[in-house]
Homo-oligomer: A and B are copies of this chain.
């Protein structure tokens, strides 16, 4: 197996200014795998209830996702409900019903344990650790987390951080994890905790990569329509990790290209509810959006001899 993801498979009820969906296929592992499977064979390890629709398993299989690690047990599937403000500035959680997810104990089979790359989606850090203990020698491991674990389960989180190559967090999580309120300094502290690659997810503002002493930003694609931001971060990670898993080496160049692939992938995710847009996504779509993204980047070349400056003391010797 190229890629293993351990996380949630859920039913989401989401309301935005553009409409609403109820019991729509969601969950971190779902969004991740729907994206990553475009690049690399992906297995999901997760748990669902006996209410989980066979047609939803089939949707994952139709994307070549290996669903043999999705355990079905008596009870209800994890459910989450939320509503977005009109311009997507804020998201309010209406309910979180862990249901069968409350007793999730990830069991990694022989196929998953041999995975090249592993993504530990946002679950309890002890569970993330237990996954790594079941895996052989994956060449690249990344994790997602959130403030709930950063503040409540820090010792376990610090243990798992020591064992991963890469962490995906947003600005707030980076500040909370590092204890400093500046992104560059926060990334340096997180590097010291273990992960040599720190990725800051900034939603509509894009994403930043901290690796090998470099800080690099990639804006998001400018879109004229956003339907539902749910899953943007997980599908960003999915595109990123799928690309990485498909490459022979994980170096700066690979990580930079993975940032681009993640950004392009997420730009489609938000243009439909649930995984609707993601499940028909093609590399051709990404190539089209890549041109769009390139056009969205402002060129930064400057001719310093022509910038002006009316006083001779302002002259500068940089060409």
Contacts and interface: CB of A to CB of B under 8 A. Distances in A.
A316 B284 CA distance: 6
A192 interface: no
A298 B260 contact: yes
A147 to B, nearest CB: 13
Contacts of A208: 222
Interface string A131-154: 000000000000000000000000
A5 interface: no
Contact of A296 (B217, B226, B310): B217
A112 interface: no
Interface in A86-106: 86-88
A314 B282 contact: yes
A287 to B, nearest CB: 4
Number of copies: 2
Interface in A167-209: 171, 175, 181-185, 202, 205-206, 208-209
A218 interface: yes
B40 A310 contact: yes
A242 interface: yes
Given A217-B222, A222-B208, A315 B283 contact: yes
A176 to B, nearest CB: 10
Interface in A207-244: 208-209, 214-219, 222-226, 242-243
A290 interface: yes
A141 to B, nearest CB: 18
A143 B303 CA distance: 27
Interface string A286-319: 1100100111111111111011111100111110
Nearest to A182: B224
Contacts of A226: 182
Contact of A39 (B219, B256, B308, B317): B308
Given A40-B310, A307-B261, A217 B219 contact: yes
Given A261-B302, A295-B214, A39 B283 contact: no
Given A181-B17, A184-B224, A293 B300 contact: yes
A298 B202 contact: no
Contacts of A158: none
A245 B308 contact: yes
Contacts of A284: 316-318
Contact of A223 (B39, B184, B243, B318): B184
A87 B300 contact: no
A10 to B, nearest CB: 26
A17 B259 CA distance: 32
Nearest to A308: B246
